[in-house]
Structure 1
Amino acid sequence: MSDKPSVLFVCVHNAGRSQMAAGFLTALSGGAIEVRSAGSLPAEQINPAAVEAMAEVGVDIAAHVPKVLTTQAVQASDVVITMGCGDTCPVFPGRRYEDWELDDPAGQGVEAVRPIRDDIRRRIEALLKELLASKA
């Protein structure tokens, strides 16, 4: 692992929640955190409503691509945050795990995705503050 804390966001399709979380943490950390995202059953593309909702707050995730969850990604991460992937996320000793209960934006319009986005942002801001404080 690097000197930087690393966070892995995992949801089923890696097309909405985990991508928004990764986008926020990347943007708000200014490179201070290593950020990954993956899905247990990745979709073909990022949810267009998630892309639109994030663009509204100045975070561009349009070029992101859903990725499959690998054991290596989990092992390389200090913090693993799951978002509805259930038991498909492997558990390794020495990792911190959190499960964020968030509505699934799949099939929703941007109006329904905005509150999910805002909830994710609040959680990311708290996580970032905690991770940076633990490095100090």
Structure 2
Amino acid sequence: MSDTPVSVAFMCVQNAGRSQMSTAFAEHERERRDLADIVEILTGGTHPADHVHDVVVEVMREEGFDLSERTPRKISTEELESCDYVATMGCSTLELDADDSDVDIRDWALDDPDGEGLDRVREIRDEIERRVTALFDEVEREMASGTTRTSDIDNA
């Protein structure tokens, strides 16, 4: 397996819901797969909120994650351009040009949990967990094969 660091970012506008859930699941996957020294995880928003949405804190607590002390943060285009993978949540004001970038950009187009009922937020949470797990499966496959996003693009 390659030991080249891989950076993954989860971002949206407020960094108060979907991207925070994604980050928590990604941190769990990184630990579970023993990739702490290899995978860097970033999260942020273009216009961060003051706090993580209460309903998000509640449904993530049900799964054993405490997001109550997390603070949404701003993420810059420069930070995102340095990543190998960027997952946006369907609300991005991302300014990266996918055609001119080595970044693998994915728009997950997830509904905003803010203002939704618990059952709907649980559905969003569960979909995020599936997508994060699938992303880590892909990252591990690429690392094991020695391919990186840069080499894929260079050889395209």
Give the alignment's TM-score, normalised by structure 2: 0.80
Counterpart of 1:71 (choices 52, 77, 81) is: 77
Alignment of 1:97 with 2:105, yes or no, is: yes
2:79 is aligned with what amino acid? Answer: A
Does structure 1 conserve the Cα–Cα contact (< 8 Å) formed by 2:18 and 2:89? yes
Deviations 1:60-91 (A, max 9, x none): 222211111212221221111111234x2121
Distance 2:39 2:68 in 1: 21
Does structure 2 conserve the Cα–Cα contact (< 8 Å) formed by 1:54 and 1:60? yes
Deviates more, 1:54-63 or 1:20-29: 54-63
Give the gaps of 5 or more residues in structure 2: 145-156
Does structure 2 conserve the Cα–Cα contact (< 8 Å) formed by 1:25 and 1:33? no
Counterpart of 2:124 (choices 96, 116, 125) is: 116
Give the gaps of 5 or more residues in structure 1: none
Identity %, equivalent residues: 39
Structure 2 partner of 1:3: 4
Structure having the higher Rg: 2
Question: What do you get for the CA RMSD once the two structures are aligned?
Answer: 1.6
Does structure 2 conserve the Cα–Cα contact (< 8 Å) formed by 1:18 and 1:38? yes
Distance 1:33 1:62 in 2: 24
Alignment of 1:14 with 2:19, yes or no, is: no
Runs of 4 or more above 4 Å deviation:
none
Q: How does 1:52-91 map to 2 (within 5 A)?
A: 52-86=58-92, 88-91=93-96
SS in 2 for 1:3: coil
State how many pairs are aligned: 134
Deviates more, 1:111-120 or 1:58-67: 58-67
SS in 2 for 1:89: coil
Deviates more, 1:42-51 or 1:32-41: 32-41
Alpha-carbon offset, residue 8 of structure 1: 0.8
Does structure 1 conserve the Cα–Cα contact (< 8 Å) formed by 2:77 and 2:96? no
